[in-house]
A and B are shown apart, each in its own frame.
Chain A
Amino acid sequence: MGENVQHLSFLQDNGGKKGILAWITTTDHKRIGLLYFYSLTVFFLMGVVLGILMRLELMNPGKDLVEPQTYNSLFTLHGVIMIFLFVIPGIPAVFGNIALPLLLGARDVAFPKLNLLSWYLYILGALMALSTLLFGNAPDTGWTFYAPYSVRTGTNVTMAVLAAFILGFSSILTGLNFIVTIHRMRAPGMTWFRMPLFSWALYATAWIQLLATPVVGITLLMIAVERMLGIGLFDPSLGGDPILYQHLFWIYSHPAVYIMILPGMGVISEMIPVFARRRIFGYKAIAYSSLAIAFIGYFVWGHHMFTSGMSGPARVIFSLLTFLVAVPSAIKVFNWVATLYGGSIDLKPPLLYALGFIFLFLIGGLTGLVNGALAADVHIHDTYFVVGHFHYVMFGGTGFAFFAALHYWFPKVYGKMYNVKHATRAFWVLFTGFNILYFPMLVVGMMGMPRRYYDYLPQFHIPNLISTFGSWIVVSGLIYMIVVLIQGYRKGTPAGKNPWGGLTLDWQTDSPPITENFVELPIVTEGPYEYK
């Protein structure tokens, strides 16, 4: 216990095991976070490749590259990978795991072994989902697996839904772990309202993971059972009700979009005060609005079904609730802007990504309201407007928040700093490409181009051409960013404990942190953003 004891960083401390074994049997939350990070990056890039292929096919009207059936499989697997393997686990599994115990002043999460189990389940689910690329026919239902088509198609849907079931289980266990961690492991003196806002966001997210995921789990299981045993739960010709499937699916999957976005918002709330050197404006409003989003988010699922058979009053109520859920999101945006106002802003890459997030999320959120309005939705339902909308929210929102978190905690995790100038440039390439890729989708959707087709009418050509061009810029931006980060990892200058001047506990320990985070558990006496 003496002063002379040297504490190994978590990257070096193999706990007496060798090589890869020291990683795949670790229970250290930071290592597990990195395991998630590496695997998730691989899947994300696979999803991007599928996206690029689709864009290539759509570059010109008519057949350019793939058969129609192949295209159907492309968007299905692209959707499944991006949703179940990237955005849903995304920020909680990677940065929640890495940062939550550090932010709380804890040595680890409440159940470290369970944490590792979640990762194994994630990998198992991922392999099952990807195996459909190789064995049998790749599923062609879209990531939503709508019945009755999903019950009748000859493609390998059973495997895909079972994969989603396993992935859901992994997500539940992560959420459960975080809730208990936040309840039980906060450092002495860290009251609920002294918690960093990222922990609040993770807390709200974890509740959604816990309470919504089982419902989709059982629903997907029903699809699998229906296919395997030939029984009629959803197939109308066998007495089932396909609309019921849609209800059950969206009862989970709408809350799930808040699983995707809330942690992103938490990351942004964490960064804005640091780079503005100001106390966050409206701490409690931001914390409570996370809970409000989580809560209201349960009651809006019907807005995915405005055109598929629902009574008039039900549609009006769902539309109204959809408008309501936008309020807490707007509260956050106003609070972030108010925090920036009058701050001494330091435009480093993490903040750039955060600002990019706010801009893109604003577009995504506002187009969401267009979808939520009953009369408008009847026209734009299932058009490229929707595709544009959800890429703005999921990629522009959660994706950019993910990159923000990556640039923010990179020096903490690896102890080294990447090249800030190049990282900034990579951001601009990505940001520009993003808008060139997706803005035309909003336009062409308004013009009436339907989604999930490998072909389109000639009058949609120009916007599609621009969009495909944008996809190349996005990929260049991604490659640029990855190269900069890898260079930073290999040759970066030592970052020191606190390169950004943050006040939260993660910045008070070494970079990279030691195995159990803190030599002595910190004692907390004030809020997380008390810039003087």
Chain B
Amino acid sequence: MNTNNSPSAHVHRDDEAQKMGMWFFLFTELLLFGGLFLVYSIYRFKNPDAFAHGAKELNVVLGAINTIVLLTSSLTAALSITAIQKGQKKLALGLVLFTIFCALIFLVNKYFEWGHKFEIGIYPGSDLLRAIPRGEALFFVLYYFMTGLHAIHVIVGAIILGFMARYIQTGLINSDYYVLLENGALYWHLVDLIWIFLFPLLYLIH
């Protein structure tokens, strides 16, 4: 194991690089959704009335609640960083756990929302969707696709935050080394940000 004595065996740490990497990754996520936004705008442009009609079917109240839930969770994610910087480990942990809790509320809401749509027969491949005008069907297809992909991101984000909570507990994340938490929170903000666009595009524009 002679290489271990080499001068290079010290651990290389570069917080700046870690954050840079995260930002670049977020760009790619934005572009991923960008493709969907593009498809959405083109089909909306082609079928303005059908899209407006489809949007009326969505439950604005549930959407608005979810928006508030996500915005709050972004706040608590950000606060947890401040807390850990000040060395308040318990507080930071609590804030991260609260963020995860918000993610769960969001998903439960989503479950009810989708469940209701399924009940009245609006889901990909359903007979109803085959029968209604094509433009409206496209709206619902995009609705499921976009919110579905977003929901996957919520789940991934919650899992990442779960790891963050664990790391805070074990002390891997501490007042001296918290770039991991910053990156986790950045990811969570992205999830939030995308929802901020999805909500008006799907629910509010009539």
Chain A interfacial positions (CB closer than 8 Å to B): 1, 5-8, 13, 16, 107-108, 110-111, 114, 172, 176-177, 179-180, 183-185, 210-211, 213-215, 217-219, 222, 225, 229-233, 238-241, 244, 248, 514-516, 518-520
The 3 closest A-B pairs by CB, nearest first: A239-B134, A218-B35, A214-B31
Within the assembled complex, what's the spacing in Å between the Cα atoms of A215 and B137?
Answer: 23
Q: Tell me which of B2, B17, B29 contacts A8 (CB under 8 A).
A: B2
Whether the pair A229, B14 counts as a contact (CB closer than 8 A) is: no
A residues within 8 A CB of B2?
5-8
A residues within 8 A CB of B3?
7-8, 13, 514-516
> What number of B residues sit within 8 Å (CB to CB) of A?
38
Instruction: Determine the residue in chain A with the shortest Cβ distance to B25.
Output: A176
Whether the pair B16, A239 counts as a contact (CB closer than 8 A) is: no
Whether the pair B16, A218 counts as a contact (CB closer than 8 A) is: no
Within the assembled complex, what's the spacing in Å between the Cα atoms of A210 and B137?
Answer: 33
Whether the pair A248, B141 counts as a contact (CB closer than 8 A) is: no
Whether the pair A107, B8 counts as a contact (CB closer than 8 A) is: yes
Within the assembled complex, what's the spacing in Å between the Cα atoms of A13 and B6?
Answer: 13
Q: Contacts A211-B27, A222-B145, A231-B124 given: A111-B21 contact, CB under 8 Å? A: yes
Q: Tell me which of A7, A214, A240, A515 contacts B34 (CB under 8 A).
A: A214
Whether the pair B20, A183 counts as a contact (CB closer than 8 A) is: yes
Q: Tell me which of A107, A219, A515 contacts B35 (CB under 8 A).
A: A219
Q: Contacts A5-B2, A7-B3, A515-B3 given: A214-B141 contact, CB under 8 Å? A: no
Within the assembled complex, what's the spacing in Å between the Cα atoms of A278 and B129?
Answer: 68
B residues within 8 A CB of A231?
124-125, 129, 137, 141, 145
Q: Which residues of chain B (99-128) have a CB below 8 Å from chain A?
A: 124-125
B residues within 8 A CB of A111?
17, 21
Q: Tell me which of A7, A114, A240 contacts B138 (CB under 8 A).
A: A240
Whether the pair B39, A233 counts as a contact (CB closer than 8 A) is: yes
Interface on chain B toward A: helix, strand, loop, or mixed SS?
Answer: helix
B5 at interface, CB cutoff 8 A: yes
Whether the pair A172, B6 counts as a contact (CB closer than 8 A) is: no
Q: Contacts A210-B27, A214-B31, A516-B3 given: A176-B21 contact, CB under 8 Å? A: yes
Whether the pair B17, A232 counts as a contact (CB closer than 8 A) is: no
B residues within 8 A CB of A217?
32, 35
B residues within 8 A CB of A110?
14, 17, 21
B residues within 8 A CB of A214?
28-29, 31-32, 34-35
Whether the pair A520, B7 counts as a contact (CB closer than 8 A) is: yes
B residues within 8 A CB of A520?
7
Q: Contacts A7-B6, A176-B21, A229-B125 given: A222-B27 contact, CB under 8 Å? A: no
Q: Contacts A176-B24, A180-B24, A232-B141 given: A5-B39 contact, CB under 8 Å? A: no
Whether the pair B39, A248 counts as a contact (CB closer than 8 A) is: yes
In angstroms, how far is the closest chain B Cβ from the Cβ of A511? 17
Within the assembled complex, what's the spacing in Å between the Cα atoms of A7 and B6?
Answer: 8
Q: Contacts A107-B8, A111-B21, A214-B29 given: A229-B35 contact, CB under 8 Å? A: no
Whether the pair A184, B39 counts as a contact (CB closer than 8 A) is: no
Q: Contacts A214-B31, A217-B32, A232-B141 given: A222-B125 contact, CB under 8 Å? A: no
Within the assembled complex, what's the spacing in Å between the Cα atoms of A515 and B4?
Answer: 10
B residues within 8 A CB of A184?
14, 16-17, 20
Q: Tell me which of B8, B32, B124 contacts A218 (CB under 8 A).
A: B32
In angstroms, how far is the closest chain B Cβ from the Cβ of A181? 8
Whether the pair A232, B39 counts as a contact (CB closer than 8 A) is: no
B residues within 8 A CB of A233?
39, 138, 141, 145
Instruction: Determine the residue in chain B with the shortest Cβ distance to A177.
Output: B21
In angstroms, how far is the closest chain B Cβ from the Cβ of A284? 25
B42 at interface, CB cutoff 8 A: yes
Within the assembled complex, what's the spacing in Å between the Cα atoms of A232 and B46?
Answer: 15
Within the assembled complex, what's the spacing in Å between the Cα atoms of A1 and B9?
Answer: 10
